[in-house]
Structure 1
Amino acid sequence: MGGAERNARKRKQQQTAARSVAQARGVAGGDKKKVVAITVAVVVLAALVIGGVLWTTSSKDTTEGKVIQAQTTTSAPGVVEKRDGAVVIVGKPEAKKTIDIYADFLCPVCKQFEESFKGQIQEQVNNGVLQVRYHMLPMLNQRSDPPGYSLDSANASLAAADAGKFLAFHDALFKDQPQEGARGFDKAQLIKLGADVGITDPAFAIAVNTGAYEQQVKDAYAKISKDPSLQQDFGNGPGFGTPTVTANGQVVKLEDGWVQKVVA
């Protein structure tokens, strides 16, 4: 092999080696970019997870330390609030029409029901036409965190009825309703609300703290939830749900004008 050929071959080998090095650097550079990209993605994901946990925790505990706002509930002279076991009867004794309302203080649809029809119902109660039987149930008792708010609030509302303050207590709990799946109001907050709506009898706080009516509420719910006359089809077969309203033993369809139809 001549000198010229040897030089040409040497140059070719050098060029090949240079290309290999460049390719290797490119691969290494690409790998580094991938590593950086993956690292950034992991960091971002971790930040989102941590932020989500913090937001969820913060959102869950929005009721902690909160003062439930007392509501102004105006009842006409002669309107009586009376507890009968686990039921609270509100109205004038001479009222000719009666409805039963089955609800849960944690039920979002029950809150919507109150917002839509509370004024119409109260008008007929104040007029002496309608008497209402309230059944406050612990249907969503496991849906608060920690569980138990539905039962605590139902029990407290019965104690408020003993003091003649059921409607004011009831309206405040729906107005300031906790989020389903989050923290409810604790017993101290329920007792504070009682004081704010005008309950002065120490028996109220005792009844709340001891769960005086909890067994009555649970027994009533067990019976109501299995009552065939209260079953409705909510899209997945017959069952009981809140809110449910009955008049003359029949479930009322909650559409516009139903209050007027009931009292007509």
Structure 2
Amino acid sequence: MTPPPDNGQSKRNRRDEAREKARLAREAAARKKRRNRVFAIGGSIVAAVVVVGLVIWGISANIQPAGPGPKNMASDGLLLQGNAKTGAITATKTDPIKAGGKPTATDDSKLTKTVNITVYLDYQCPYCDEFETTNASQIKTWLKSGAVTYEIHPIAILDASSLGNKYSTRAANAAACVANYEPNEFLAVNTAFFANQPQEQTNGRTDAQIIKTVQKAGATSSKIPSCITSQKFKSWVGDATNRALDDKLPNSSVSKVTGTPTVIVNGKQYSGSLTSAADFKSFVTSQASS
């Protein structure tokens, strides 16, 4: 016959076992909590490092190192003059703006025998196209006769209108390449850019298409294509654009560019029709006699 259990001893054993299990459970829970805390801290550090890295990368990607501007655009624009005897249109030669330097305004005290026309334009701007297409022929005629000077300032304010292609900046850079290597072909290239202007909210033209336009217009220097594809003067385009948008426009009463085209004749802004050559001619004539 099996003897009955010793109830007192069994109860103590069960209590001791229960206490031991509870202790082990508490220790296991404490170890798990410590592990989770370590992993959480480690994960936070890794996440923070990733975020900081991305921020640094983003800043670095958007900072363009200052570079020199193109030759013959010391004013941020290229000044064209004509010879009444030969009909030749030539660019005024200047040194480039040094890296991190400031532009030098055209000295209009030396241009007292001409009407001086200045335009700030964006090659993606449809209104610039209207003005240039309407007035290109008569401006060229005035230049050939020596009656006017024409200073063209390419800027880039419509990059968002070419579906990520940043055509405004790339076209302004291409114009700067022409100014640097074949400045006397600048007017023809300027006209060609508007004749081949892409519509807003479409993909801007490719580098190959820009190069073809430039070459067909007469700027055939072998150095221009690589200047265009490398965007050699991209940082200058950004600087020149910011100056036009933020600073008073030299040799004028205009406080800053608020839209393109901004057309100035002998220091006064033209606010007439962009599609009437007669209106613009009348304004130029009035400034010549004032």
Distance 1:182 1:225 in 2: 25
Residue 133 of structure 1 pairs with residue 151 of structure 2: yes
CA distance in 1 between counterparts of 2:93 and 2:154 reads: 12
Number of the residue aligned with 2:139:
121
Aligned partner of 2:270 in structure 1 is 252
Deviation per CA, 1:100-152: give whole Å up to 9, x if none.
10111110111111122222222211110111110011010121122310011
**Equivalent position SS for 1:201:** coil
Report the counterpart of residue 78 of structure 1 in structure 2: 88
Unaligned stretches of 5+ in structure 2? 1-81, 98-102, 274-278
Alignment match of 1:219 (pick from 231, 239, 245): 239
Indicate the SS of the match to 1:183.
coil
Give, in whole Å, the separation in 2 of the partners of 1:184 and 1:224: 23
Q: What do residues 71-125 of structure 1 show as CA deviations (whole Å, max 9, x unaligned)?
A: xxxx8633202465589x9xxx895221210111110111111122222222211
Cα separation, 1, equivalents of 2:171 and 2:158: 11
Q: Per-residue displacement from partner, 1:171-214 (whole Å, max 9, x unpaired)?
A: 11111211011111111111122222233322111210111122
Tell me which amino acid in the other structure corresponds to 2:241: Y
TM-score after normalising by structure 1: 0.61
Please give the alpha-carbon distance, in whole angstroms, between the structure 2 residues aligned to 1:207 and 1:251: 33
User: Does the alignment pair 1:184 with 2:209?
Assistant: no
Contact 2:116 2:265 in 1 (8 A): yes
Q: 1:146–1:82: structure 2 CA closer, same or farther, 3 Å change rule?
A: farther
C-alpha distance in 2, partners of 1:211/1:94? 36
Structure 1 vs Structure 2 CA RMSD: 2.6
CA contact (8 A) 1:230 1:240 kept: no
User: Amino acid of the residue matched to residue 80 of structure 1?
Assistant: T
Distance 2:165 2:227 in 1: 19
| Higher alpha-carbon Rg | 2
- Where relative contact order (Cα < 8 A, 6+ residues apart) is larger, the structure is 1
Q: 1:196, 1:119 → 2: CA distance?
A: 18
Sequence identity percentage: 28
Contact between 1:98 and 1:247, CA under 8 Å: does it hold in 2?
yes
Q: Structure 1 pair 117/201, CA: closer, same or farther in 2 (3 Å)?
A: closer
Q: Provide TM-score, normalisation by structure 2.
A: 0.56
- Inter-CA distance 77–127: structure 2 relative to 1 (3 Å threshold): closer
Q: Does 1:202 align with 2:212?
A: no
Query: Unpaired runs of 5+ in structure 1?
Result: 1-74, 233-238
Q: Indicate the SS of the match to 2:127.
A: helix
